[in-house]
Amino acid sequence: MSQPKLQVEGLSVRFPVRSGPFQRRVGEVRAVENVSLEIASGGVFGIVGESGSGKTTLGRAVLGLVDTHAGRISFEGRPLVGPGRARRTADHRRMSLVFQDPFGSLNPRMTARQLIAEPARIAGTVRTRAEARDLVAAKLDLVGLRADMADRHPHEFSGGQRQRIGIARALAGAADFIVLDEPVSALDVSIQAQIVNLLSDLQQTLGLTFLFIAHDIAVVCQFAERIAVMYLGHVVELTDRRRLVENPLHPYTQSLLSAVPIPDPVRERARQLALVKGDIAASSADLSGCVFHPRCPLANERCRVEKPALMDTSDNRAVACHAVEEGRVEMPARESV
């Protein structure tokens, strides 16, 4: 078993909630609670969740952008330090980030050339203008943009093209581990497919490792091999994409899959939907027991008081659910999706 590219152990991230004229701490938001996972080298690991799931915070924590409350993050076996350190280490430079918003993620006053060259300049791998020009031309070609577009500003590009620039920028340094935070959600449907294919091709030809974070489970299942489902800061199910879609165990995963409509009217009519009730809670800090229990149709007394741990099941997956452990979950029919 080779070294995982990235390993997260018991990670918790909490944000204080401050109020009043003296900004006193009145509570906290538990964005990520006790999350552990391993990302294999050269693969695509997906994280699916809705708002409040903590998936974005997890991505930022992995990159060393937020303070962690507890837990450890290791890159290729070496521990990563948090943002307290002023200087980012060489390991940090092996990681980069592609953002959701193609409008806001590029400095409007810089040209595509400057944007793509910047990570390399900072890392010192590019020193002269000639080197920068070569690098920029190579990266633009890699993402399917013409070299003569290098001197345009972000607003002169379309959303999909801006995202390509963002990807080129992420690849300009020494990074071989890329965190993709909702990289296609803000794009038109027909452009999403282009970008997903581009990412897939790049990942395979360059041997990159991706952490793909999204709320669109269909896109995640399309792209990622191993997927973690998060809810209110916790990982509730962790398995490969086939099992996730064909045989979801956690009640939240089941309702999430039910909620996603499939563009096929015949299949839709045949589906048995298991829609969840209620709204996502604002914070998990006040909840005891399983964070999903207020909305879970299978919640019992134990669920209300005892938090389920992420446990391995027989078929190479992990689920955090008492009902599954107790055998109370009905396996959905083969065509549950």
Partner 1 sequence: MAGAGRPDPDLPEADAAPTLSVRGLSTEFRAGGRVRRVVDDVSFDVKRREILAFVGESGSGKSVTFLSVLRLIADPPGRIVDGSVLFDGEDLMTLDPKGARMRSIRGGGIGFVFQEPMTSLNPVLTIGRQIMESLRLHLDMGRREARARAAGLLSAVGIGDAERRLGAYPHEFSGGMRQRIMIAIAVACSPRLIIADEPTTALDVTTQAQILELLAGTVRDLGASLVLITHNLGIVARYADRINVMYAGRIVESGATDDVFADPRHPYTRALLDCVPRLGETRKLAPIAGQPPDAGTAFAHCPFLPRCARALPVCRTAPPPRLADVAPNHSAACHAAELPE
Partner 2 sequence: MDEATTGSRDTAFTPSYLRTAAGILRQRPDIAIGVLVIAVMVVLALFADLIAPYDPNRTSLLDSLMPMSAEHWLGTDSLGRDVLSRLIHGTRVSLQVGVFAVFSAAAVGTFLGLLAGYFRGIPDMIIMRLMDALISVPPIILAIALAAVLGGGVDNVVIALAVALLPTYARVMRSLVLVIRELDYVVSARVAGAGPLRIMIQHIAPNCLPSLVVLMTLNMGHAILAEASLSFLGIGITPPQAAWGAMVSDGYRYMLQDPSLSLIPGVCVIVAVLAFNLAGDGLRDLLDPRLKGQL
Interface with partner 2 (CB under 8 A)? 63, 65, 86-88, 92-93, 95-97, 99-101, 104-110, 118-119, 122-123, 144-146, 149, 155-161, 164, 166, 169, 173, 191, 194, 198
Minimum Å distance from CB 279 to partner 2? 26
152 binds partner 1 (CB under 8 A): no
Minimum Å distance from CB 53 to partner 2? 19
**Residue 145 touches which of partner 2, partner 1, none (CB < 5 to 8 A by kind)?**
partner 2
Which window, 27-35, 112-120, 214-222, 313-321, contacts partner 1 (CB under 8 A)?
Answer: 214-222
156 binds partner 1 (CB under 8 A): no
Candidate list 3, 107, 158, 300; residue touching partner 1; CB under 8 A: 158
Minimum Å distance from CB 92 to partner 1? 32
**Residue 261 touches which of partner 1, partner 2, none (CB < 5 to 8 A by kind)?**
partner 1
Minimum Å distance from CB 191 to partner 2? 7
CA distance 40 to 97: 18
Q: Which is nearer to partner 2, 146 or 334 (CB)?
A: 146
Q: Which is nearer to partner 1, 70 or 262 (CB)?
A: 262
**Residue 260 touches which of partner 2, partner 1, none (CB < 5 to 8 A by kind)?**
partner 1
Minimum Å distance from CB 332 to partner 2? 38
Interhelix angle 159-172/112-123, nearest 10 degrees:
20
The size of the interface with partner 1 (CB under 8 A), counted in residues, is: 49
- Binding flags for partner 1, 260-289, as an x/- string (CB under 8 A): xxxxxxxxxxxx-x-xxx-xx-x-------
Three-class SS of the chain: CCCCCEEEEEEEEEEEEEECCCCEEEEEEEEEEEEEEEECCCCEEEEECCCCCCHHHHHHHHCCCCCCCEEEEEECCEECCCCCCCCCCCCHHHEEEECCCCCCCCCCCCCHHHHHHHHHHHHCCCCCHHHHHHHHHHHHHHCCCCHHHCCCCHHHCCHHHHHHHHHHHHHHCCCCEEEEECCCCCCCHHHHHHHHHHHHHHHHHHCCEEEEEECCHHHHHHHCCEEEEEECCEEEEEEEHHHHHHCCCCHHHHHHHHHCCCCCHHHHHHCCCCCCCCCCCCCCCCCCCCCCHHHCCCCCHHHHHCCCCCEECCCCCEECCHHHHCCCCCCCCCCCC
Q: Where along the sequence are the contacts to partner 1 (CB under 8 A)? A: 50-51, 158, 160, 188-194, 196-197, 200, 215-219, 221-222, 241, 245-246, 255-271, 273, 275-277, 279-280, 282, 337
